[in-house]
Amino acid sequence: MMIIETSKDVEIFNLYWGHEPCIIVPIWRDLEKHPMNNQLSFLYVRFRNQETDQGDEVMDFILPFNHNDCVNLHIDLTESTYEKYVWNKKGLLQTNLGLKNLYDIQADVFFTKNELPLLEPFTEGLTNFYTRMGLRDDLGQSISIMKWGEVLRGFTNQFEPQLTLSFTDSWINKVMIPVLSHIEQKGIRVDREKFIDRWPDASHHKHLRGDIIYTEYNPYTVTSRPSNRHGGINFSALNKKDGTREIFIPREGTQFVQFDYDAYHVRIISKLIGFTIPHTSGHQWLADQYGCSYDESKGRTFRIIYGGVSDEDKKIPFFKQIDDYIQKMWKQAQIDGYVLTANRKIYLDWIEDPNPQKVFNYVLQATETELNMVIMKQLIEQNEEVVFYTYDSFLFEENDGTDFERINKIQEILEIFGFPVKMSMGTDYSKV
């Protein structure tokens, strides 16, 4: 293992970097902070096992940043076009390193085996060591970094032989992870005083940078539907009634603009089963089918979608067609051992106590996520910044002098699959 400390070391590193695929594990100066509010301490770079007369050889390097003993090294990491298997691609995309051809290790392992290799058990002991020795924020000692390198070699040993381009070359690696990384980089502004009052624990405050808090999406779930919990805050379930949402405010000179899908899951289901429903309110349309009020309709619809279609429900053609779809899907899944979405497989043995309705709900959430990623990718390509997204709603910041032509463009992209959205504006997150 070599720590890059001199120009000669750089020359040796470059012999591998430009000609071999590798594994990269970034280590941040604070293991708990968000990448956007953090600094890289070093990169562990492991090149694939080389065959020698003595057997396979691991060639690995440590590239330190702001290391006391290093000369001012200039390493152009943008040059290599070889594949790089990366731990935490989403975080590395938030640095200025300009790395290309990144393939996410978590995606490769999790979405093929439903397992997630964890770095924490390998680093926990060293983290405690640095804390005790007062070195937590100063990893610039060769002996300490070498210890890290030994730990990371052991960590990469567990999955290095398994890595392929089979899944990392998929939409999750190419679309989903870059999209989520892009949203995270934007961050969301908070009223700092209110934020500290609402979350007084000092551990929460380290995730602030000025008045910006960064969210962190976790796509490594069976459905791939991202959770958004970071720093002890569940951003996907902010309370609407206790004033929590008032803490989140737009940047100076802007206001929040939010778009919400009308009856999103109902419309996704209609797309899955090939059933056309009106472009007007989906829940009101269903209320008309039931012969009840709008509010009663929503409750009944949720019960049917998530609980199952009863014989009474099947009298309504929409739900009869849903039940037919579920039964056909379940029958095929028992033969294949998995269900298919547009982009991936969900294996039945990944689902605890699978049954037709439960598997259908997994497909529904996965389909929602896949559609959302396509939409947000298009928004990003049109330079429209999503500040925050939660399943069926998308939050933007727009200038106070609202540009409705731009808002119309956003709405057109959001409605590319034929699902109508409603727009709201507000001076804080509680008002949209």
Computed from CA positions of residues 225, 228, 234, 240, in that sequence, does the dihedral angle turn out positive or negative?
negative
Indicate whether 177 belongs to any domain: no
What pLDDT, on a 0 to 100 scale, did the predictor assign at position 117? 74
Q: Which three-class secondary structure state does DSSP give residue 230?
A: strand
Residue that finishes a domain, picked among 120, 137, 169: 169
Is residue 196 located within the same domain as residue 333? yes
pTM of the entire predicted model: 0.90
Structure token digits, residue 326: 């579920």
Indicate whether 237 belongs to any domain: yes
Is residue 427 located within the same domain as residue 310? yes
Indicate whether 181 belongs to any domain: no
The CATH number that applies at residue 426 is: 3.30.70.370
The residue among 62, 250, 30 whose CA lies nearest residue 156 is 62
Is residue 158 located within the same domain as residue 196? no
Indicate whether 148 belongs to any domain: yes
Q: Which three-class secondary structure state does DSSP give residue 239?
A: coil
Indicate whether 186 belongs to any domain: no
Indicate whether 425 belongs to any domain: yes
What pLDDT, on a 0 to 100 scale, did the predictor assign at position 137? 42
Is residue 284 located within the same domain as residue 218? yes
Is residue 164 located within the same domain as residue 198? no
Is residue 220 located within the same domain as residue 123? no
Is residue 103 located within the same domain as residue 197? no
What pLDDT, on a 0 to 100 scale, did the predictor assign at position 169? 61
What pLDDT, on a 0 to 100 scale, did the predictor assign at position 29? 81
DSSP string, 195-214: HHHHS--HHHHTTEETTEE-
Residues with Cβ < 8 Å from 16, sequence gap 6 or more? 22, 47, 59, 61
431: left (phi > 0), else alpha (psi -120 to 50), else beta?
A: alpha
Indicate whether 145 belongs to any domain: yes
Kindly provide the residue ranges of all beta strands, DSSP E only, lying in 53-91, ordered along the sequence.
55-64, 84-86
Is residue 348 located within the same domain as residue 419? yes
Q: What residues form DSSP beta bridges with 59?
A: 47
| Total of domains in the chain | 2
What pLDDT, on a 0 to 100 scale, did the predictor assign at position 339? 97
Is residue 216 located within the same domain as residue 115? no
Is residue 272 located within the same domain as residue 369? yes
Structure token digits, residue 357: 């309705």
The CATH number that applies at residue 58 is: 3.30.420
By CB atoms closer than 10 A (0-12, 13-18, 19+), residue 70 is: middle
Is residue 397 located within the same domain as residue 298? yes
In degrees rounded to 5, what are phi and psi of residue 431?
A: -100, 5
Q: Which three-class secondary structure state does DSSP give residue 6?
A: coil
DSSP string, 294-327: HHHHHHHHHHHHHH---TTGGGSHHHHHHHHHHH
Q: Which domain holds residue 42?
A: 2-169
What pLDDT, on a 0 to 100 scale, did the predictor assign at position 24? 94
CA distance 228 to 218: 6
Indicate whether 66 belongs to any domain: yes
Is residue 163 located within the same domain as residue 195? no
Residues with Cβ < 8 Å from 278, sequence gap 6 or more? 285
- Residues of the chain with pLDDT below 70 are 49-58, 66-73, 121-144, 161-169, 202-204
